[in-house]
């Protein structure tokens, strides 16, 4: 139940994230000055906060989306299975988000 509404909320969030991505492409096409400005915006504390939220939203939506694809094929509907897969998606979201930001930190991307 909670994962279902979260799927929509994260989807709407990622809609805005994709527009930020389009903004990145336009900034890049705009030349080095605009690109640096845009990257500084993304690298600001608020920018990082938003990007962290986008990362978590993306992994949740991806994991839960795969869950939906199984449901569409008629698999995994049993209450116990559905509950287990819900926790699996939440666990995956946390691990993948921390892994991504850990990797970014360790490789000097932050």
Partner 1 sequence: MSYRTDHSRARGLGAAKHGAAHWIGERVSAVALVPLCVWIVFAAIRLARGDYSTAVNFIGNPFNAVLLALLILVGFWHMHAGMRVVVEDYIHDHFGKAALLILNLFVCVLFGALAVFAILKVAITGGSF
Return residues touching partner 1 (CB under 8 A). 8, 11-12, 14-15, 18-19, 21-22, 25-26, 28-29, 31-32, 35-36, 39, 42-43, 55, 58, 62, 65-66, 68-69, 72, 100, 103-104, 107-110
Residue partners of 51: CB distance under 8 A and separation at least 6: 42
State which residue, 4 or 81, has the beta carbon closest to partner 1.
Answer: 4
State which residue, 44 or 79, has the beta carbon closest to partner 1.
Answer: 44
- At 77, give phi and psi (nearest 5°): -80, -20
State which residue, 68 or 88, has the beta carbon closest to partner 1.
Answer: 68
Are 85 and 65 contacting, i.e. CB atoms less than 8 angstroms apart? Answer: no
* Least Å from the CB of residue 73 to partner 1: 10
* Least Å from the CB of residue 38 to partner 1: 10
* Least Å from the CB of residue 86 to partner 1: 18
State which residue, 28 or 94, has the beta carbon closest to partner 1.
Answer: 28
How many angstroms separate the CA atoms of 38 and 29, rounded?
A: 12
How many angstroms separate the CA atoms of 60 and 48, rounded?
A: 18
- 32-35: long-range contacts at Cβ-Cβ below 8 A with a sequence spacing of 24 or more? none
């Amino acid at each position: 139940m909670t994962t279902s509404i979260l799927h929509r909320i994260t989807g709407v969030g990622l809609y805005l994230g994709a527009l930020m991505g389009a903004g990145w492409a336009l900034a890049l096409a705009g030349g080095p000055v605009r690109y640096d400005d845009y990257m500084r915006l993304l690298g600001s504390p608020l920018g990082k906060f938003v990007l962290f939220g986008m990362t978590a939203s993306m992994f949740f939506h991806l994991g839960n989306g795969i869950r939906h694809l199984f449901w569409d094929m008629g698999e995994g509907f049993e209450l116990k299975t559905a509950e287990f897969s819900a926790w699996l998606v939440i666990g995956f979201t946390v691990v993948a988000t921390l892994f991504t930001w850990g990797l970014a930190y360790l490789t000097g991307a932050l």
